Amino acid sequence: MSDVERDQWEESIGFVSFRTVFNESSEEFFELQSQDEYDQWLIEYDDILYMKGDEVKPRISQYFYQLISNRDGEFYVGTELAKVQEDKLIRIFDGDRSKIELATSADKPSKDLGIDIIKFPDSEVIATRSDIHGSCDLYTPKFWRYNDDKDRRVYLELSVVLLPENPYLPQVVNSAVEIHVFGYKKGLFGGFNKYKTNLAYDQVGFEMRNHDNLLFIRGDYADKEYNSKDLYGYITGLGTSFNINDPIYTPYFQKSKGRATSRAMIMNSPWLTMCCGYDPFDCPNPTDAPFDPF
């Protein structure tokens, strides 16, 4: 589903997603003309974004949850109310909104109150590359590079997504992997924010451990999108995890790889490459990629 198709779907059901609000904020970002306007913009959207270094970042990092939650990070599954925060997913099984404040301040699930809390795994850098920026994170390997003019960036991220489904077995979740490619552009005030561009990825693959013993090997994913803020892939059928808040059972990437580009990169920069844990001869080659995949 493209950005346009997602917009049309939201409009057809009268829904405004977190993704839509964040995208609207990025459009406004590039129209700011003064420091006062910039400061007011930060205040207006403080609930959904923050500055990390010189980049604007969403408070909900996983794109899957940006798609299905509203501006407050909330969504329903049947009668169950869920709320996404930066570090956890909260589930209120009876949908009672009066429990939200208690649930957001809690650190542990409460069976008596019908509240479940799934903590997102902490990041851990297991390798780095000096020629481009990024890290081989166990849960969200992420790489990015500049174009030659240093005013554009392209990102390639893989993420483990946890999908709780059964309120009667709250610590049992299905697993998926999302592929996310997006571009950042430099604004008037020196910060970078997401913008529309042509995006492409190919040779994306991974080996994922689920429940510390099941190995899922997938590879050769490729896609492209025109004039879009996000290029998104979603891979399911990657097993079930138990005792999800115990780190030993959290799904993680044993290996990850891929390459990506954007319209700003193709004129004078090779493709961005990610290669974590694979032998060198299995890594994507940035120089033999199509000059213009669009």
Nearest to 268 by CA among 133, 145, 148: 148
Model pLDDT, residue 137? 87
Cα–Cα dist 264/262, whole Å? 5
Model pLDDT, residue 135? 84
> What's the chain's Rg over C-alpha atoms?
19
248 three-class SS: helix
Predicted TM-score (pTM) of the model is: 0.90
Domain spans in the chain, listed from the N-terminal domain onward: 3-282
Give the mean pLDDT of the chain: 88
**8 Å CB contact between 87 and 75:** no
Residue numbers in the chain where pLDDT is lower than 50: 124-131
